[in-house]
Amino acid sequence: MKSKQFSKKTPKNTSSNNKTHKIKKVGILTSGGDCSGLNATLRACVKTLIHDYGVKVIGYRDGFRGMIENDYQELTFKDVSGILSIGGTILGTSNKANPFRQFQPKTGEFKDVSKKVVADAKKLGIDALIAIGGDGTMSMAARFTEMGLPTVGIPKTIDNDLMATDLTFGFYTAVEIVKESIDRINTTAMSHHRVMVIEVMGRYAGWIALYGGVSGGADVILIPEIPYDIDAVAEVCSSRNKQGKGFTIIVIAEGAKPIGGDLTVQKIVKESFDTLRLGGVGHVLAHQLEEKLPRLEIRVTILGHLQRGGSPTAFDRILSTRFGHYAANMVMRGEFAQMAALRGSQIVSVPISEVAGKNKFVPPDHDLILAAKSLGTSFGEKQ
């Protein structure tokens, strides 16, 4: 007996949710600081929406600036082809544009232009918005949904400090850059018998410093979550020198601070999401160590925006693709005011309210910290 054959295929745009047929045009933007994986995410979103659902996609230029100024372009298969391996974002981005608090250069004041932004989006026929960004972007995404512009979020930041998701894309590419930099600086440190201080990004969280420092074999890792004791750090350098090792590698997060001390602020940008620009803590640490260790030579390297650029790693390309594809399907299922998130090995949908305006910090008892301590790594704590 022959097995039963089915000749009819299920249409690609079929969904159990009756909201699917209402979505015909989707807006998308990349907001906040750039990072590797943004283009891979755009590619996955756009191709899924066009290929599986026949939906038209509108890309806003430079994040929320594009929505505020009604500056956009239609994104086609051709526009997102060949961008998987390219860093940055073809749409551009901004960490200053904020429809709910937009800086007015002429008056020096802030103005809420969100109602106009929503009205313009509706005039354009936008049925839903996909916002790719960090905690500030997620806050705005939640508010837009309340105002009648259904929005889905995708978590993006090299800092890995977003709540409700195990990882954000861009993080592991930044860690890879930190690791490679430590490898290169390590040979110079050994040759010249120096203390090398490497300052990395991360804002108020120490994820990049922790993962980058451990993967690069740093001797000291200083993170915001564990205020450091300068005497403890100096003792590590002195002890290694006495043991004949002759060099020390210190990785310090830009948000690290000494016990009882403050953050090192480079400047204040009042029109930005986050007004504080951190930076320079590596030089502060070096100056403190020079007073404690006058015989040792200390040098500082600030990696800065090197951590944001370049081609994404294989891991981030895959995570970005999974996030983009899942978010596109979230839109078509009507899962708004939600964000795509990685939980374990699965991509899931979580309420944006769990993410908006919040930060995920490194627990002092994190298993990687415990492992590093067992290997002799110091976190600048008093002995």
- Considering the domain boundaries, does residue 381 fall inside one? no
**219 a catalytic residue:** no
Structural domain count of the chain: 2
The mean pLDDT of the chain is 91
- Considering the domain boundaries, does residue 9 fall inside one? no
pLDDT number for residue 273: 65
Other Cβ atoms within 10 Å of 141 Cβ, number:
28
- Considering the domain boundaries, does residue 377 fall inside one? no
pLDDT number for residue 3: 37
The answer to whether residues 202 and 78 belong to one domain is no
pLDDT number for residue 278: 81
**Active-site residue (options: 159, 161, 219, 229):** 159
pLDDT number for residue 122: 96
- Considering the domain boundaries, does residue 189 fall inside one? yes
The answer to whether residues 54 and 111 belong to one domain is yes
pLDDT number for residue 9: 36
78 CB-near residues (< 8 Å, 6+ apart)? none
The answer to whether residues 25 and 156 belong to one domain is yes
- Considering the domain boundaries, does residue 95 fall inside one? yes
Task: Find the domain containing 209 and state its range.
Answer: 173-308
pLDDT number for residue 4: 36
The answer to whether residues 203 and 109 belong to one domain is no
Q: pLDDT for 31-86, tens place per residue?
A: 988 899 999 999 999 999 999 999 999 999 999 999 999 999 999 999 999 999 99
